[in-house]
Amino acid sequence: MIVGAVGLIYSFVSTPASVQEVEEMLAHDEHHGEHETSATHQSGMKQNHENLNHENKAKHTSDDSHNKSHAETEGHEKSHAEHVYDQLKNKPWSAIYTSSLFFFLIALGAFTFYAIQNASQAGWSPVIFRVMEGISKFILPGGIIVFVILVLSTLQLNHLFIWMDPSIVEHDEIISNKTGYLNDSFFLIRAAIYIVGWVLLSRVIVKNSRKQDENPSLKLHKKNFKLSAIYLVFFIVTESMMSWDWIMSIDTHWFSTLFGWYVFASMFVAGITTIALVTIYLKSRGYLEFVNNSHIHDLAKFMFGISIFWTYLWFSQFLLIWYSNIPEEAVYYIARFNDYQLPFLGMVALNFIFPLLVLINSDFKRVNWIIVMSGIVILIGHYLNFFVMIMPGTVGESWFIGIPEISSILLILGLFIFVVFKAISSVPLLAKNNPYIKESKHFHY
């Protein structure tokens, strides 16, 4: 966590200080590219070099005879430098935002799975309730971090959301028509409602669960059943709106009616995967004595099933946009294919092909090291999914996974591990008075 904090501070400090510095960087890169090209031509492509010289001579002649065109070119280069400057300044902000949102939604996804267990009166899972409750503790600190970043965005300290820039909105008819919904005050009010609602409901439900350890009455269990149902209704609405506000609005011109479900599938499978990894770790350390291979098998089935569900949503969204080929929609995937091809296609392989090939085997779902390996791959894949959703609209083609991204992951991951395991270690690991605890203890098949 400390290493991540230091790396992130360095990332902010090392960003370009001015547009002039970016112009010098671009000039250096262009000169370096020309030098490499010249060396290649001299070694084996003499004829192409001569053709290029003829083209360059023609270009220089044209530039000398058309001063106006030359001035326009300089103006374009300056505009490009300003664009790259904004992208590079955005890079550390985008990195910390991606990591913060990813781990926050992991905690929220894990708690949503827990609420589903309560609302469905599941009998297999109460022995791992404390793991789910421990992961959900990160909803509060994670929500605070995300909200602070959003507030700083409205204060124009970064350019993650272009619709927050009045100079852009003024000259963009599409964005200006959305200002009734996309405006700073309403945006922050919605964000506060989402986070406060999720935090309060999760805290009350977990608190009631802890009280059951001392009170065997069914009143608390029935109360949690009702509260979990209320939470799920609140969640399914606010999660969709959250995905529109915090992710989809980054690409303000683009929209998808599937996007809320797509983000939900990603955070849900990541949350379930984290539950499985923490459970296996605690089991390996001698805790959770009543957890057996059947519990692990069920968690792995959810990991596999929701991975397929995510793929279905990803392909449905992609296929409809690709087939219809409407420019306003296709531009979203064009940017990702042109500039983010490796992470874009890589995350599909990690999130679909790998789980399909490994977790489709029923026996593998009972082997801990296979579940751990699959879980790590799934989490990496879904981080890349959030990376590909956020980065093209914030840093454009100026991306690479470097110090800002790695430092942000280390920082938020360290905080996540600290909060989760502190919460787990502070309470008994068995929800002993849950009415389904005996069924869960003897869960075998």
d(CA 392, CA 384): 12
d(CA 103, CA 80): 34
Nearest to 410 by CA among 375, 383, 377: 383
pLDDT tens digits, 88-108 = 888 999 999 999 999 999 999
Q: Name, of 18-22, 45-49, 185-189, 217-221, the range with top average pLDDT.
A: 185-189
d(CA 200, CA 150): 20
Residue 64's pLDDT band, with cuts at 50, 70 and 90, is very low
d(CA 201, CA 185): 24
Asked if residue 87 has pLDDT above 90, the reply is no
Residue 28's pLDDT band, with cuts at 50, 70 and 90, is low
Higher pLDDT: 416 or 42? It is 416
pLDDT tens digits, 238-283 = 999 999 999 999 999 999 999 999 999 999 999 999 999 999 999 9
Structure confidence at residue 161 (pLDDT): 94
Nearest to 174 by CA among 257, 253, 255: 253
d(CA 212, CA 222): 11
